[in-house]
Amino acid sequence: MSGPSAPQGLTNIGEEAKPPFAVLPDPSTLFFNRSKRLRALAPGHVVEPYLNFVADVTEAQHGIQDDLPAPVLPEFSRIQQTLEYGIPPLSRCSFDAGEAAGVTLDRLLERLRQIGNPEEARAAIASLTGAPAERRHQLMSAALTDAPVDDIAGRVLVFAGLQVHFVRLAAKLAGEDLRPVADGVCPVCGSPPMTSSVVGWPKAHNSRFCTCSLCGTMWNVVRVKCVLCGSTEGISYHSIEGKPDSLKAETCGQCGRYVKILYQVNDHMLDPLSDDVASLDLDMLLAQEGWERGGHNPFLLGY
């Protein structure tokens, strides 16, 4: 693995860039684009079977949306109140899994049953399908509070269902109303980031955005700063020698954690979830050096 290096794309940071604070997800394209990226990464990859499995899940996440009941936001007055007090309007901590979330998980499991899956995934699908509604509600609540889990495959599927539900909810908000909550916290649902990305968008060239691991919202963050603890001390960048340097790990000497950073400004095909999973070898090398993974990706539970 190559040693610490300087961040990329620092030339003209902020020049003519007026990035929005938050960019809400588009449910009609988010999961579809993820599945396409995973399919493109899979052939010949050392974890090709797993990348194809995740692609199957993301395709199912996309495919079930047409038949789902419309998600219902909290009362407008409640949303306004949370924003005034600096609380995520769709906070995962106070989420009550209603009918729409339960139906979403049911439809996802039904779609996944129709395709070939690894043995562990088939067992998890069967177990969740046969569980009563109350039990599935408990599992969703446990996933949102990061409660300890023995059945990792089941947790992955439950979280995949919650992703669909929260993405559809987040898309109904007004992005311009959102405000920062705290370091390492999504301004919509309060979840940790999955990765961060340096983008090449018009009016936001070379700006960095974190991507929420749950609702898919992207929020603007300062460059060369730990997105988890906010420290600007001891920030280093690591990559694997011989691999494209469009993806690195940003390590923080203060909190001892890291989050991957994707330079979409150099490669617009990079996807926060897909390329995170496909760069598992970087996680393994960093773990050997004593770094703790700080980015949260439901498809990398246990790493």
Confidence (pLDDT) at 16? 56
The one-digit pLDDT tens for each residue of the chain (303 residues) are 555 544 444 434 444 578 999 999 999 999 999 999 999 999 999 999 999 999 999 999 999 999 898 888 999 999 999 999 999 999 998 887 678 899 999 999 999 999 877 899 999 999 999 999 889 989 999 999 988 888 999 999 999 999 999 999 999 999 999 999 999 999 999 999 999 999 999 999 999 999 999 999 999 999 999 999 999 999 999 999 888 889 999 999 999 999 999 999 999 999 999 999 999 999 999 999 999 999 999 999 977
Residues 232, 248 contacting (CB under 8 angstroms)? no
Q: Is residue 175 part of a domain?
A: no
In a shared domain, residues 195 and 92 = no
Q: Is residue 186 part of a domain?
A: yes
Confidence (pLDDT) at 1? 57
In a shared domain, residues 161 and 53 = yes
In a shared domain, residues 96 and 215 = no
Q: Each residue of 204-215: b (16+ CB within 10 Å) or e?
A: bbbbbbbbbbbb
Confidence (pLDDT) at 243? 87
In a shared domain, residues 14 and 71 = no
In a shared domain, residues 89 and 215 = no
- Of 139, 170, 201, which closes a domain? 170
CA atoms within 13 A on the CB side of 252: 23
Confidence (pLDDT) at 103? 94
Confidence (pLDDT) at 52? 97
In a shared domain, residues 140 and 255 = no
Confidence (pLDDT) at 5? 47
Confidence (pLDDT) at 195? 98
CA distance 50 to 30: 20
CA-based Rg of the chain, rounded to a whole angstrom?
Answer: 19
Amino acid, single-letter form, for residue 182: A
In a shared domain, residues 44 and 119 = yes
Global confidence as pTM? 0.92
- Of 147, 170, 193, which closes a domain? 170
In a shared domain, residues 261 and 287 = yes
In a shared domain, residues 159 and 198 = no
| CATH code, domain with 125 | 3.90.1670.10
Q: Is residue 278 part of a domain?
A: yes
First to last CA, the chain: 18
Domain range holding 112? 30-170
In a shared domain, residues 203 and 291 = yes
Confidence (pLDDT) at 303? 76
Q: Each residue of 256-282: b (16+ CB within 10 Å) or e?
A: ebbbbbbbbbeeeebbbbbbbbbbbeb
Q: Is residue 197 part of a domain?
A: yes
CA distance 108 to 127: 14
| φ, ψ for residue 2, nearest 5 deg | -70, 155
In a shared domain, residues 53 and 135 = yes
CA distance 265 to 8: 10
In a shared domain, residues 159 and 104 = yes
Looking at the structure of the chain, the number of domains it has is 2
Amino acid, single-letter form, for residue 94: S
